[in-house]
């Protein structure tokens, strides 16, 4: 099925470890996004990529880096994980979010101990 | 800064009832408003998107309305079913960095 695929689905890290969350979409969308979802706080934008080759910070970028590898793939890296980064991470894509809105992946549940 | 509020945080209704979920926003300068459904442990599924120039959108038993002047959107669900049980989120878009999500209304439809 067409859509947004995220890996892994679950991950437990120790404080200070690093990891990369992968995201790929097969809808030929131009824009891709990384959000985190925390209880009582809604979804908050970490980074986005309006088009291949560009990335920009969102509301909560500290502690994260991203790479727009090609049009399909947008990865999120935690260089030195902290307990405050325990969250559910969602990747989303859109052809043109002003007119067509977002398509979301199923999420990665990350726990940092 | 845009603030999006969804009240109530939780709602329980008997099967078959028609219901309305509310979404309010503080800045009316939006491009669109989108409604999503989220099942436990799952991602967000887009339900309806209303452009700023539109008043409403319909899909099956769902109808979403938008009143920019009052900063409100509603999602109407007709003849609710147990399968409608989920958390419903709204999100307003004012640009790439200006998409603001509400915290959602958790709906339970009781058989």
Q: Which of A59, A98, A109 sits opposite B93 (nearest CB)?
A: A98
Mean pLDDT in order along chain A per 10 residues (113 residues): 89 97 95 92 91 92 96 97 97 81 93 97
Tokens at B52, concatenated:
């700023």
How close does chain A come to B23, measured CA to CA in Å? 13
Question: Beta strands of B15-85 (E only): which ranges?
Answer: 19-25, 32-38, 44-51, 56-59, 62-67, 72-77
How many C-beta atoms lie closer than 10 Å to residue B22's C-beta? 15
With an 8 Å Cβ cutoff, are A42 and B45 in contact? Answer: no
Partnered with residue A10 across adjacent β-strands are A109
Q: Which of A21, A55, A98 to mutate to test the interface with B (most CBs of B within 10 A)?
A: A98
Residues B34-79: tens digit of each pLDDT: 999 999 888 899 999 999 999 999 999 999 999 999 999 999 999 9
Residues of B in contact with A97 (CB under 8 A): 93, 96, 99
Prior bond of A8 cis (ω within 30°): yes
Q: Which of B41, B51, B102 sits opposite A42 (nearest CB)?
A: B102
User: 3-class secondary structure for A71-101?
Assistant: CCEEEEEECCCCHHHCEEEEEEEECCHHHHC
Whole-number pLDDT of residue A37: 95
Residue B5 near residue B101, CB atoms below 8 Å: no
């Amino acid at each position: 099925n067409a859509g947004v695929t995220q890996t892994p689905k679950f991950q437990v890290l120790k404080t200070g470890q690093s990891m990369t969350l992968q995201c790929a979409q097969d809808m030929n969308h131009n824009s891709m996004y990384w959000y985190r979802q925390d209880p009582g706080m809604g979804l908050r934008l970490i980074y986005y990529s309006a088009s291949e080759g560009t990335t920009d910070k969102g509301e909560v970028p500290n502690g994260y880096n991203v790479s727009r590898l090609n049009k399909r793939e947008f990865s999120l890296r935690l260089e030195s994980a902290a307990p405050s980064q325990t969250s559910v991470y969602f990747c989303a894509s859109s052809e043109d979010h002003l007119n067509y809105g977002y398509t979301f992946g199923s999420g990665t549940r990350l726990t940092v101990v | 800064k845009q603030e999006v509020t969804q009240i109530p945080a939780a709602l329980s209704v008997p099967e078959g009832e028609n219901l309305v979920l509310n979404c309010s926003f503080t800045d009316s300068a939006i491009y669109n408003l989108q409604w999503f459904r989220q099942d436990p442990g799952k991602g967000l599924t887009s339900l309806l998107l209303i452009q700023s120039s539109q008043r409403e959108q319909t899909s099956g038993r769902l109808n979403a309305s938008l009143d920019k002047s009052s900063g409100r959107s509603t999602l109407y669900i007709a003849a609710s079913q147990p399968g409608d049980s989920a958390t419903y989120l709204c999100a307003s878009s004012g640009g790439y960095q200006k998409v603001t999500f509400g915290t959602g209304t958790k709906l339970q439809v009781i058989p």
